[in-house]
Homo-oligomer: A and B are copies of this chain.
């Protein structure tokens, strides 16, 4: 969590962090919004400086965005103070050299020197060229890390305020899930297909439009969701074919992962069969829920995260299903990871994938992860995934943040 930053910076031998902007509009630069919160600061640079056991956080902002910058509570510096046009002129029109010179002056003013780590989500080419030029200068040592960098490590555990926001995102998301189920059940059935008032079939596209509207009304940002039926439900990241009709008895995989506006995500999946389900699906659902419940009870902070993936594969294989550890290209069986961390991004460390694919690490107090086992048989026309969110609370217990029921078969009225 953020309060770990002084310790982490010391452990990584860093004197300062620099998070490059912009935030990319729509808060895609989450290393940036980790410090600013959900404000309309689109342009800026964040400097975090270690000073003993404290950190000092400065936002260098565009003067047009001074009101938004003030909302962050950070120490502010207007970029206008640096008269970029003059610096460009002094550098004979070389804007890359001017940006390096700007950093030199800024760091001198802020007292930043030594080992400086760089972060953010930015355009690859310009950023590489900039850091490459900066690393040839003497006034700081540019530090970048391929994995497990300071900000990722801080973000891997959530503080009380972050957990509260994620809980809020879960509650609002469950509201939308419930409204969606009610919406489906409100449609009459003709020839095993849900129909609209004009007699035409209700489609995936209709349902997704409904979901988008309900998300907006709830104050949730919608990055798209997965609402796929039948064969498409058997392909984990198939988002669903908009023209497909909603038919009874088919598996529907509904994976919804919105966030509070510019802020924290929820990530929840339910599998539904409207009216009835086949015995094959009912049996497979029991296996998925057995894995789900077994792993939820098994989560702890002593085992490496990949061990939970191993345990998941053990159970599925014992039940006669093939798994991704047997074949990375597997299409029929359990074909993905058990879960993943999330927060300001929908996928964050830690991961629970196969050993070696990610840094080996235990889950920790403050971790928030998904638990989302699934079985996929596209050739048989079905798929199942059930996903809940868990938080490792300060006592080391894994609390389920998701409250929505896990019923597979949704009875249709009448």
Q: How far is the CB of A394 from chain B (nearest CB, A)?
A: 29
Interface flags for A342-383 (1: CB within 8 Å of B; 0: not) read 000110000000101110000000000000000000000000
* A222→B122 CA distance, assembly (Å): 21
Instruction: List residues of chain B with CB within 8 A of the CB of A345.
Output: 25
Q: Is A128 a contact of B128 with CB atoms below 8 Å?
A: yes
User: In the bound complex, do residue A146 and residue B121 qualify as a contact, i.e. CB atoms below 8 Å apart?
Assistant: no
Q: Which of B68, B126, B146, B221 contacts A126 (CB 8 A)?
A: B146
Contact of A64 among B144, B222, B224, B237 (CB under 8 A): B237
A115 within 8 A of B: no
A235:B66 contact, CB within 8 angstroms = yes
Count the A residues whose beta carbon is within 8 Å of the partner chain — how many? 80
Q: Are B216 and A20 in contact (CB under 8 A)?
A: no
Copies of this chain, count: 2
Q: Contact between A131 and B124 (Cβ–Cβ < 8 Å)? A: yes
Cross-chain contact B93 with A25 (CB below 8 angstroms): no
- Tell me, in angstroms, the Cα distance from A223 to B222 when the chains sit together: 10
**Interface 9-residue window, one of A79-87, A104-112, A268-276:** A79-87
> Contact between B83 and A262 (Cβ–Cβ < 8 Å)?
no
Q: Mark A139-163, 1 if CB is under 8 A from B, else 0.
A: 0000011110100000000000000
Docked-complex contact A331 and B63, CB < 8 angstroms = yes
Within 8 A of B (CB), among A74-108: 78, 80-81, 83-85, 88-89, 93, 95-96
CB–CB B125/A122 < 8 A:
no
What distance in Å separates the Cβ of A314 from its nearest Cβ neighbour in chain B?
18
- Cβ of B118 and Cβ of A121 under 8 Å apart? no
| B125 with A144: CB separation less than 8 A | yes
Find out whether the CB atom of A232 lies under 8 angstroms from the CB atom of B125. no
Q: List residues of chain B with CB within 8 A of the CB of A297.
A: none
CB nearest neighbor in B for A43: B237
A357 B26 Cβ-Cβ under 8 A: no
Q: Can you give 21 contacting A-B residue pairs, CB < 8 Å?
A: A25-B224, A25-B346, A40-B238, A62-B237, A63-B328, A66-B235, A80-B328, A83-B328, A85-B328, A89-B356, A95-B147, A95-B356, A96-B147, A117-B125, A119-B123, A121-B123, A124-B127, A125-B144, A126-B144, A126-B145, A130-B146
Chain A interface residues (CB < 8 Å from chain B): 20, 24-26, 28, 31, 39-40, 42, 62-68, 78, 80-81, 83-85, 88-89, 93, 95-96, 117-132, 144-147, 149, 209, 212-213, 215-217, 219, 221-224, 226, 232, 235-239, 257, 261-262, 328-329, 331, 335-336, 345-346, 354, 356-358
